[in-house]
Structure 1
Amino acid sequence: MINQVWLKTFCTLVEVGHFTQTADKLFMTQSGVSQHIKKLEQQLDVALLVRDGKSFLLTDSGEQLFQKGKELLKSSEELESLVRHDETHEGRIKLASPGSVGLRLYPHLLEIQQSFPKLIIDYTFAPNKQIEQAVAARQLDLGLITQLSNLSNVVSHKVGVEPLVLVTAKNVDTINWDTLIKLGFISHPDAEHHARLLLSKNFQQFEHVDQFIHKGFSNQISLILQPVSKGFGFTVLPLHAAKAFPHQTLINIHELECSVKENLYLCFNRQSIQANRVKFIKTTLTEYLN
């Protein structure tokens, strides 16, 4: 069995990239760090580093050990935390979702936190790919995404659907292809995905959002419809995000002939050991979104 103390020293060294700084971070001497690496190489009977003066490079074996070793150390930390303290309604939970889902979900989670003050909700608004990568890297306990994950260590379960709508300024009553070409497109982090889903079902001319003149971009869910409301262009959003815009009299929400609903997936890391508080929020999200 790999000595976890030596493994932690090795993984820290690779992350920090410097023997002296690693020693400082782990409250060791530089020679102690070198001894741990040497003992680990002897135990495994492979070279892990190629030293070049004060710097080093990883061997293939070293790279493999670093990638798998990080997962092993993370699992060990999770297990220790789980054994020491695993209350259902206490502790910190990190989760993320795209903006539209967050507008609907975050207020509900705050109500839960009011009921259980020792439960701490860390909520991030982010696009699909960023959430998926954060779940894969175990930077999040749970994520909500609108595209099924293709990553092998991310598990995704469908928990709901959300209609997509086309939004323009209030003075635009009729939607056709020529109108969209004239208006231009207001983009956002998931705009290409949303537009492809909705417009491909309703306009045979549609191929890609680049067919429209780019009229602006915002990564803040609460601001995406500001330029739309001023007549700068149109966009495609989940219905809840459109209805959450505070100036409803300035926009027109168009539900097209062929309706499209976007799936919502709850995802988590396959290798994570889920604490009871994570299981509680996981169940809460599933029930609320169904």
Structure 2
Amino acid sequence: MINTNWLHTFCTLIEVGQFTRTAEKLHMTQSGVSQHIHKLEEQLGVTLLDRQGKTFTLSTAGQKLYKEAGKILTDLTNLQQSVVNDPAFEGHVRVMSPGSLGLKLYPQLLTLQQRYPKLIIDFRFAPNSDIEQAIVNAKIDFGFMTIKSKLVDVCCQPIAKEPLLLVTPSTIEQPNWSTLEALGFIGHPDGSHHANLLLSQNFPQFQHSNLFTKTGFSNQIGLILEPVSLGLGFTVLPKHAVDAFSPSSKIKIHPLPIPVSETLFLCTRRGIKLPKRIDTVIAEAKKSLQAEQVLGE
């Protein structure tokens, strides 16, 4: 393998044209420059320079080497820069979150991308279990979850809380237990879990969401409140999903005596140093979530 230091000295000598000036430019002695050239010739087994006293011309082999060496040294320089360079506002960032949180964060991260067009946001909506596995398998850079992972490879940091809300059609003024039973439940993938968390704390009659008549189901976070808005039932959803629904005039949010929130966890693969671009996106997400929480307190 060709010694890149010798190759760099050779190319610099050809560009400068003199041994003395080459030595000055490279902070070497003149004999050191000559030694590099001789070692390169010995390694390749060819004469690179046709010397005439203190001057020289390139041999045929020298011309070929100089033509190719410039490309090689440029590629090596670019490779080093790409490895060492860690830009804060450039590169791909892969994120996953539950649907409700995604409705809140994705538009804001797109605004961040508008400010820094080279920062490419890849945002996926997924349940906690899929997010957890994506982190373990390095398919994403980080994720948000509403449960703390028990896997040793996943590091979870609590960063905010998201309230769970009871939502009914706009015609319902103050729902009691019989009102909810009459309405029926609009299900969604986390519907039973959310209903159990919120309703069990506020209605002594509550035993399980499965005891409600099921009047609809949707696995699309943006559509869960559609049947509610049409008067077909009630549901329990995280706040960000409710905030994103339009027209909001067709639904009604009912504050309950005992508020219940889900903790939002920032999750990464344990032991991995995150690039600066990931830190940029995480900081923006934290700022959004924590600012909203302070305002809501």
Query: What's the TM-score once normalised by structure 1's chain length?
Result: 0.68
CA distance in 2 between counterparts of 1:227 and 1:124 reads: 25
> Following superposition of structure 1 onto structure 2, how do residues 199-278 of structure 1 map, counting pairs within 5 Å?
199-278=199-278
CA distance in 2 between counterparts of 1:200 and 1:138 reads: 37
- Name the % identity: 48
**Contact 2:188/2:217 (CA < 8 Å) preserved in 1?**
yes
**Contact 2:96/2:125 (CA < 8 Å) preserved in 1?**
yes
**What amino acid does structure 1 have at the position aligned with 2:176?**
N
**What amino acid does structure 2 have at the position aligned with 1:127?**
P
CA distance in 1 between counterparts of 2:184 and 2:81 reads: 52
> Following superposition of structure 1 onto structure 2, how do residues 80-91 of structure 1 map, counting pairs within 5 Å?
83=83, 85-91=85-91
**What amino acid does structure 2 have at the position aligned with 1:165?**
L
1:255 deviates by 1.3
Cα pair distance change 1:176/1:268, threshold 3 Å: same
1:271 deviates by 4.2
Cα pair distance change 1:275/1:204, threshold 3 Å: same
CA distance in 2 between counterparts of 1:82 and 1:204 reads: 61
**Contact 2:192/2:210 (CA < 8 Å) preserved in 1?**
no
Aligned to 2:176: 176
Aligned to 2:126: 126
Cα pair distance change 1:249/1:110, threshold 3 Å: same
CA distance in 2 between counterparts of 1:227 and 1:279 reads: 39
CA distance in 2 between counterparts of 1:164 and 1:184 reads: 18
1:288 deviates by 2.2
1:140 deviates by 1.2
**What amino acid does structure 2 have at the position aligned with 1:276?**
K
CA distance in 2 between counterparts of 1:215 and 1:276 reads: 47
Aligned to 1:193: 193
Aligned to 2:46: none
Which deviations, in whole Å up to 9, do the C-alpha atoms of 1:221-255 show, x marking residues without a partner?
Answer: 11100011112111001123212211112111111
1:192 deviates by 2.0
> Following superposition of structure 1 onto structure 2, how do residues 36-75 of structure 1 map, counting pairs within 5 Å?
none
Mean CA deviation greater in 80-89 or 261-270:
80-89
CA distance in 2 between counterparts of 1:103 and 1:177 reads: 30
Cα pair distance change 1:167/1:122, threshold 3 Å: same
SS in 2 for 1:249: helix
Cα pair distance change 1:118/1:183, threshold 3 Å: same
Count of residue correspondences:
211
1:85 deviates by 4.6
Alignment RMSD: 1.9
Which deviations, in whole Å up to 9, do the C-alpha atoms of 1:42-71 show, x marking residues without a partner?
Answer: xxxxxxxxxxxxxxxxxxxxxxxxxxxxxx
1:117 aligns with 2:117: yes
SS in 1 for 2:122: strand
The runs of 5 or more residues in structure 1 that have no matched partner are 1-79
CA distance in 2 between counterparts of 1:229 and 1:193 reads: 22
1:207 deviates by 2.5
1:287 deviates by 2.4
SS in 1 for 2:198: helix
Which deviations, in whole Å up to 9, do the C-alpha atoms of 1:92-131 show, x marking residues without a partner?
Answer: 1110111221121111111111111111000011222221
Q: Which has the larger radius of gyration?
A: 2
CA distance in 1 between counterparts of 2:195 and 2:155 reads: 26
Aligned to 2:136: 136
**Contact 1:172/1:252 (CA < 8 Å) preserved in 2?**
yes
**Contact 1:128/1:190 (CA < 8 Å) preserved in 2?**
no
**Contact 2:188/2:219 (CA < 8 Å) preserved in 1?**
yes
1:199 deviates by 0.8
Query: What's the TM-score once normalised by structure 2's chain length?
Result: 0.67
**Contact 1:138/1:272 (CA < 8 Å) preserved in 2?**
no
SS in 2 for 1:236: strand
